[in-house]
């Protein structure tokens, strides 16, 4: 006595919506950080204050561009998962992960380096500079953890749960890449 | 749909399987690991009541202190902690978790015909984080180092220089910790309302209660990050040595106020919009008519929150903002009148054109409308900048926001307690003591809050721990204190009534009010799986659609959307409510309380400035998350 299957329409899974909620919340968080950056800037006569060098231009831009390109392998990994090709998906994920880890390693080193020259406790400029940059690095790190976890999951084959996870994590990485561009752009605006 | 005698053996077998699939684990362990939205809602309810009691006692101590001039029941430093904790408790530990955590959790899945939230384990996590954050802040009170710079904690008063103890660190960390819980709940509500509705429930058939919860959730989601950023800045300023709020090093104290009120004003609407939702649930049931102007009310609920994001600086009219900013924010604040009035007229018209039965729940809603309009009228007065500058930080402001927060947010909470009591316990409350409790609370609160207007105009400023004689303030203050104790008596009568009704009340049956929404179609209390079949929905008042309920009974017989093969729920398209997928839901899980515990350790270590150990505890959190995600729902 089983009835005929009910008509269905495909739509994005709850997992995608859950990640969108995280993105909305984190986007708002960064919105507040960036608003603070400009609020403090317009309260200060000199920005960056005298004695602090303007942020470097070329290295951050090149690195950000490298990070942004990882959106492509992430999207390809998602496409592979949708087509059921787990091995290909893992390969793309590893490719993205290599660039992301390289970016993160350099940035952590550089962050440490800069702190040695100008401390976070110097003034309002250094406070927001390191807080904003550090928060962005934290989100890159979280993305790396997501990807490592996803690789571990995909090593044992494909389920709908894992496919949804790939969708959500890819979406997260697109967000982090855009976020990094906006954050770096904000910080570089001190040169203008 | 009380299926007392299943019509066929096939249906009986289906019911039997459903029972086994959704049965809760027994005993204490069952409550600790539960992911059932009804159980989590009840946990939220009891916990917030404890905090309500604590916040109430703080208020009574303050009122006793102020009853007469020159009283010295508590000293100034204790008084500072009392009013700070009273505000923090009532807002963060009572009203938000009561409306969203308790009412929202229990009712949203029932109203949309779902078996649980979209992310049941996240729901449990939210509760355990909430409890931990509440305990965290109350530990501070018992140690005598509770937050003491008011609930809005202005710098420079709250900076290390002027407040060197741990009081404000408890505030910063406690608030961030608490925001995590509210953010999780907000996200959960948004996704659940968009994805887990019964097929057929397109957005225009979504109950107004759920619209209100959706609006509050959107508000929480977008407002809380500003508070988190603000408290993180303050924590860094105090403990790391940054200079966000330090004018001597390029910072600015107004940054705190801007970020705080960017959160704080939407927050006010987050407190009150769920109360609108409760009102719009009770009114149709007791007037037996559909809500007047349903779509307008739905839009108005969303609009209130939306406008709420553009009015924050009206809390800062006395801080020396440029005139153009004053004018803009005064204008934006005046706009809030429009969606508020739409709702008031809609409620009143529903009263007038329906056949109103003034049982206790509707009495509380009528009281709510009175208090909301009174508080709203003083609200409009603040839009006039010169007036606002005169009464800023006086008791006039206290009167205004207590009319809104107690009158307009807490009255519907009480009304809702009576209204859904039969659904949750299966028993009727006692009507007469219920009505007496309403009148006691109504008279008590007006006696408590109305004289505050006069005191404010006479020049009594807020947060005075005592005042000299001879100012003419004594009689008003005494009246307020009497009102406070009268209100307390009314509240005790209310809870006494509910306890007695739980023990001795008449059986209520599934639908004592002939209510409009889906929760009245299932048994009281609802079974673990809420509905025997995922209900058919063709209007916003599904319990009044007899043909659809008849069809639900057929669906059980034919096995359509009974979903007895697993621990399953439907997902729909977000706008139109078309069936999209049938998904396997997680079972009870030990991970949410464990993760909340690890987070509590992180925050405790941050508090005592052991940053390395906090980092190690952070790794513990990640490991807990790893454990959480080791089992996929379909493997459980």
Q: Quick one: pLDDT at residue B2?
A: 46
Give the pLDDT mean for B331-346: 93
Q: At residue B508, what are phi and psi to the nearest 5 degrees?
A: -95, -25
Mean pLDDT of all residues belonging to chain A: 94
**Which residues lie below 8 Å from residue A188, measured CB to CB, with a gap of 6+?**
A55, A57, A60, A61
**pTM for the full predicted model:** 0.95
User: Could you give the count of Cα atoms lying within 13 Å of B105 in the half-sphere of its Cβ?
Assistant: 30
Q: Give the 3-state secondary structure percentages of chain A, helix then strand then coil, rounded to 5.
A: 80, 0, 20
- Residue A66 tokens, joined: 């490298």
The residue with tokens 């005064």 is: B330
Mean pLDDT of A83-98: 96
Among B14, B122, B225, most A C-beta atoms within 10 A, so best to mutate, is B225
Q: Is B253 on the interface with A (CB under 8 A)?
A: no
**B189 touching A, CB under 8 A?**
no
- Mean pLDDT computed over B236-248: 95
B106-164 pLDDT, tens digit each: 999 999 999 999 999 999 999 999 999 999 999 999 999 999 999 999 999 999 999 99
Q: State the pLDDT at residue A1.
A: 39
Statement: residue B1 has pLDDT above 80? no
Cβ–Cβ of B221/A24 closer than 8 Å?
Answer: yes
> What is the rounded average pLDDT of the residues B41-48?
97
C-alpha distances (whole Å) from A52 to each of A42, A114, A115 are 17, 11, 12
Q: What is the pLDDT of residues B302-330, one digit of tens each?
A: 999 999 999 999 999 999 899 999 999 99
Select from A9, A31, A120 the Cβ nearest to the Cβ of B578: A9
B320: left (phi over 0), alpha (psi -120 to 50) or beta: left
Interface test with A, best of B194, B234, B243, B551 (most A CBs within 10 A): B243
Phi (first) and psi of residue B4, to 5 degrees:
-70, -50
* pLDDT value at residue B559: 85
Instruction: Tell me: pLDDT of B341 over 60.
Output: yes
Task: Output phi, psi for B572, to 5 deg.
Answer: -120, 170
Task: Report the residue from B246, B258, B571 with minimal CB separation from A14.
Answer: B571
Kind and range of the H or E element at B169?
helix B167-195
- Quick one: which of A28, A157, A143 has its CA closest to A87? A157
**Tokens of residue A89, six digits:** 């998906």
Query: Which residues sit opposite B588 in a β-bridge?
Result: none
What confidence tens digit (pLDDT) does each residue in B489-545 have?
999 999 999 999 999 999 999 999 999 999 999 999 999 999 999 999 999 999 999
Mean pLDDT to the nearest integer, B463-486: 95
On chain A, the residues whose CB falls within 8 A of the CB of B232 are 131
Distance in angstroms (rounded) separating the CA atoms of residues B411 and B347: 15
Nearest-by-Cβ selection for A1 from B10, B224, B244 = B10
> d(Cα B474, Cα B468) in Å, to the nearest integer?
9
Q: Is the pLDDT of residue B5 over 60?
A: no
User: Residue B467 — very low, low, confident or very high, per pLDDT cuts 50/70/90?
Assistant: very high
Q: What is the pLDDT of residues B58-113, one digit of tens each?
A: 999 999 999 999 999 999 999 999 999 999 999 999 999 999 999 999 999 999 99
What's the pLDDT tens digit per position in B416-453? 999 999 999 999 999 999 999 999 999 999 999 999 99
Round the average pLDDT of chain B to a whole number and report it: 94
Q: Tens of pLDDT along A32-66? A: 999 999 999 999 999 999 989 999 999 999 999 99
Mutate to test the interface with A, among B114, B125, B218, B249 (most CBs of A within 10 A): B249
* 3-state class (DSSP) for residue B501: helix
As given in the structure block, the two tokens for residue B366 are 């009528």
Peptide bond into B156 cis (omega under 30): yes
Name the residue with higher pLDDT: B251 or A7. Answer: B251
Q: Which helix (H) or strand (E) holds B583?
A: strand B579-584
Cα A33 to the center of its chain, rounded Å: 15
First-to-final CA distance of chain B: 29
CB contact (8 A) between residue B571 and residue A13: yes
CB B564 within 8 A of CB A6: no
Do residues B190 and A21 touch, judged by C-beta distance below 8 A? Answer: yes
Averaged pLDDT for residues A155-171: 95
Average pLDDT value for residue range B473-483? 97
What residue of B is the nearest CA neighbor of A146? B626
Distance from CA of A136 to the nearest CA of B (A): 14
pLDDT, tens only, B246-291? 999 999 999 999 999 999 999 999 999 999 999 999 999 999 999 9
Q: Which residues in A lie closer than 8 A to residue B582 (C-beta atoms)?
A: none
Token duo for residue B576: 């139109």
Contact across the interface for B250 and A124, Cβ inside 8 Å: yes
| Tokens found for residue A49 | 């204050």
What are the chain B neighbours of A3 within 8 Å (beta carbons)? 558-560
Asked if A14 lies within 8 A of B195 by C-beta distance, the reply is: yes
ipTM over 0.85: yes
Q: Which two tokens stand for residue B152?
A: 């809005």
Identify the band that residue B636 occupies on the pLDDT scale cut at 50, 70 and 90: low
Task: Tell me the per-residue pLDDT of B587-608, one tens digit each, with 9 for 90 and over.
Answer: 889 999 999 999 999 999 999 9
Of the CA atoms within 13 Å of residue B430, those in its CB half-sphere come to: 17
Give the per-residue SS3 of B89-157. Answer: HHHHHHHHHHHHHHHHHHHHHHHCCCCCCCCHHHHHHHHHHHHHHHHHHHHHHHCCCCCCCCCCCCCCC
Q: Determine which of A72-76, B550-554, B558-562, B577-581 has the lowest per-residue pLDDT on average.
A: B558-562
Cβ-based neighbours of A167, under 8 Å, separated by 6 or more: A12, A13, A15, A16, A78, A81
CB contact under 8 A, B118 and A14: yes
- Answer whether B118 sits within 8 Å of A159, measured CB to CB: no
Secondary structure (3-state) at B17: helix
Per-residue pLDDT, B631: 84
Neighbours of B228 (CB within 10 A): 21
User: Distance between CA B266 and CA B91 in Å, rounded?
Assistant: 13
Question: Which of A8, A31, A123 shows the shortest C-beta gap to B243?
Answer: A123
- Name the residue facing B191 among A1, A3, A14 (closest C-beta): A14
Instruction: Identify which has the larger pLDDT, B55 or A1.
Output: B55
- The residue of chain A with its CA nearest to that of B634 is A161
């Amino acid at each position: 006595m089983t009835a005929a299957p009910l008509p269905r329409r495909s739509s994005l899974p709850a997992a995608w919506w859950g990640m969108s909620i995280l993105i909305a919340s984190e986007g708002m968080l960064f919105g507040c950080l960036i608003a603070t950056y400009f609020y403090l800037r317009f309260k200060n006569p000199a920005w960056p204050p005298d004695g602090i060098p303007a942020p470097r231009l070329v290295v951050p831009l090149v690195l950000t561009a490298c990070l942004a390109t990882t959106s492509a392998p992430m999207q390809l990994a998602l496409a592979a998962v949708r087509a059921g090709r787990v091995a290909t998906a893992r390969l793309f994920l590893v490719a993205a992960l290599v660039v992301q880890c390289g970016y993160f390693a350099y940035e952590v080193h550089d962050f440490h380096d800069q702190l040695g020259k100008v401390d976070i406790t110097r003034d309002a400029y250094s406070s927001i500079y390191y807080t904003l940059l550090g928060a962005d690095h934290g989100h890159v790190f979280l993305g790396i953890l997501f990807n490592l976890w996803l690789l571990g999951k995909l090593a044992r084959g494909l389920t709908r749960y894992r496919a949804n996870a790939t969708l959500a994590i890819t979406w997260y990485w697109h967000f982090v890449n855009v976020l990094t561009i906006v954050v770096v752009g904000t910080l570089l605006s001190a040169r203008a | 749909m009380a299926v007392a005698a299943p019509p066929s053996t096939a249906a009986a077998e289906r019911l039997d399987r459903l029972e086994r699939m959704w049965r809760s684990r027994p005993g204490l362990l069952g409550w600790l690991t539960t992911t059932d939205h009804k159980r989590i809602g009840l946990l939220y309810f009891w916990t917030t009541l404890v905090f309500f009691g604590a916040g109430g006692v703080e208020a009574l101590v303050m009122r006793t202190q102020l009853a007469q001039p020159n009283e010295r029941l508590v000293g100034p430093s204790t008084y500072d902690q009392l009013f700070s904790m009273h505000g923090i408790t009532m807002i963060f530990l009572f009203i938000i978790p009561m409306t969203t955590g308790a009412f929202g959790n229990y009712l949203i899945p029932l109203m949309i015909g779902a078996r649980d939230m979209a992310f049941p384990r996240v729901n449990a996590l939210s509760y355990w984080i909430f409890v931990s954050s509440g305990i965290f802040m109350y530990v501070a009170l018992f140690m005598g180092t509770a937050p003491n710079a008011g609930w809005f904690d202005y710098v420079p008063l709250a900076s290390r220089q002027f407040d060197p103890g741990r009081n404000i660190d408890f505030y910063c960390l406690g608030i961030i910790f608490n925001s995590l819980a509210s953010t999780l709940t907000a996200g959960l509500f948004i996704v659940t309302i968009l994805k887990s509705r019964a097929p057929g429930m397109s957005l225009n058939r979504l109950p107004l209660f759920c619209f209100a919860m959706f609006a509050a959730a959107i508000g929480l989601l977008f407002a809380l990050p500003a508070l988190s950023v603000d408290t993180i800045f303050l924590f860094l300023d105090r403990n790391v040595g940054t200079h966000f709020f330090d004018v001597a090093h390029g910072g600015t104290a107004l940054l705190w106020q801007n970020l705080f009120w960017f959160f704080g004003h939407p927050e006010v609407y987050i407190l009150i919009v769920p109360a609108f939702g409760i009102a719009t649930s009770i009114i149709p049931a007791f007037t037996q008519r559909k809500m007047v102007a349903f779509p307008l009310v739905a839009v108005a609920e969303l609009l209130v929150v939306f406008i709420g994001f553009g009015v924050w600086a009206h809390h800062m009219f006395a801080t020396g903002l440029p005139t153009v900013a004053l004018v803009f924010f005064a204008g934006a604040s005046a706009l809030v009148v429009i969606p508020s009035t739409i709702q008031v007229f809609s409620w009143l018209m529903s009263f007038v054109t329906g056949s109103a039965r003034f049982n206790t729940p509707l009495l509380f809603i009528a009281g709510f409308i009175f208090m909301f309009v009174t508080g709203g009228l003083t609200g409009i007065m603040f839009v006039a900048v010169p007036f606002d500058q005169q009464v800023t930080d006086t008791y006039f402001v206290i009167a205004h926001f207590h009319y809104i927060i107690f009158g307009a947010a807490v009255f519907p909470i009480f009304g809702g307690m009576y209204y859904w009591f039969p659904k949750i316990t299966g028993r009727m409350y006692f009507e007469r003591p219920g009505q007496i409790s309403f009148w006691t609370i109504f008279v008590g609160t007006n006696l408590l809050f109305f004289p505050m207007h006069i005191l404010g105009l006479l020049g009594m400023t807020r947060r005075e721990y005592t005042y000299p004689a001879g100012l003419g303030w004594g009689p008003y203050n005494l009246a307020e204190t009497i009102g406070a104790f009268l209100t307390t008596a009314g509240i005790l009568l209310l809870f006494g009534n509910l306890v007695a009704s739980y023990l001795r009340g008449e059986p209520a049956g599934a639908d004592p009010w002939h209510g409009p929404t889906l929760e009245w179609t299932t048994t009281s209390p609802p079974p673990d799986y809420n509905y025997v079949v995922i209900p058919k929905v063709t209007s916003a008042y599904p319990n009044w659609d007899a043909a659809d309920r008849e069809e639900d009974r057929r669906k059980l017989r034919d096995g359509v959307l009974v979903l007895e093969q697993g621990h399953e729920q439907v997902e729909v398209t977000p706008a139109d409510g078309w069936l999209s997928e049938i998904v396997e839901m997680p079972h009870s899980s030990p991970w949410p309380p464990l993760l909340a515990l690890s987070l509590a350790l992180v925050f405790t270590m941050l508090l005592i400035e052991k940053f390395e150990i906090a980092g190690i505890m952070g790794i513990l959190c990640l490991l807990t998350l790893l454990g959480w995600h080791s089992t996929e729902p379909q493997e459980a």
